[in-house]
Homo-oligomer: A and B are copies of this chain.
Amino acid sequence: MALSDLASTPGLAAGRDAATHGFVFNHTMLRVKDIQRSLDFYSRVLGFTLVEVRHFPEARFSLYFLVLVDDPAQIPDDDQARHRWMKSVPGVLELTHNHGTEDEPGPVYHDGNSDPRGFGHICVSVPDVVAACERFEQLGVPFQKRLRDGRMRELAFIRDPDGYWVEIIQPTPLDC
């Protein structure tokens, strides 16, 4: 469907309010049980870079902001500049660690895909989904859905340490 036809989808505003110019879909926040395991997963397995940490010792939580950018030169080294940059770009992942959850037995958080449902997943796009999934297998990453499972053969789902689903896709058609 052409972009102009999509504009007539029921519910959509007729035009864009100029007051929304400059708005950016900045980040998504997930709570995580064990921040060290999550930082390991998002940095080692998926390539995210940690760009800001904020600790709130009285309220016993910490916030970790990560980005997924190829060129580290994009990320300002100066704290203030990096803070402003981090708040102005899309695709930031915020992980909230409530202190002490890492010592609780079993899973602490709900992935949203069983009742009560809501949030479904985040998605990382990769240049080669087959190569990426082979690497995840080698790394021992748990899969929710392998490429060969089900009817949608061009996408996979892996699970992060809390069980959140991470969809893996590639922008171009897959030869399968």
A-to-B contact residues, CB < 8 Å? 1-4, 6-7, 9-13, 16-17, 19-31, 35-40, 43-53, 64, 67-68, 70, 75-77, 79, 82, 84-85, 87-94, 96, 109-112, 116-127, 131-132, 135, 162, 164, 167, 169-172
Task: Please state the number of chain copies in the assembly.
Answer: 2
Q: Please tell me if the beta carbons of A10 and B36 are within 8 angstroms of each other in the complex.
A: yes
Distance in angstroms between the alpha carbons of A11 and B89 in the assembled complex: 25
Q: Please tell me if the beta carbons of B77 and A25 are within 8 angstroms of each other in the complex.
A: no
Q: Please tell me if the beta carbons of A124 and B23 are within 8 angstroms of each other in the complex.
A: yes
Beyond A9-B64, A27-B123, 4 additional contacts (C-beta under 8 Å) are A9-B50, A25-B48, A26-B123, A29-B119
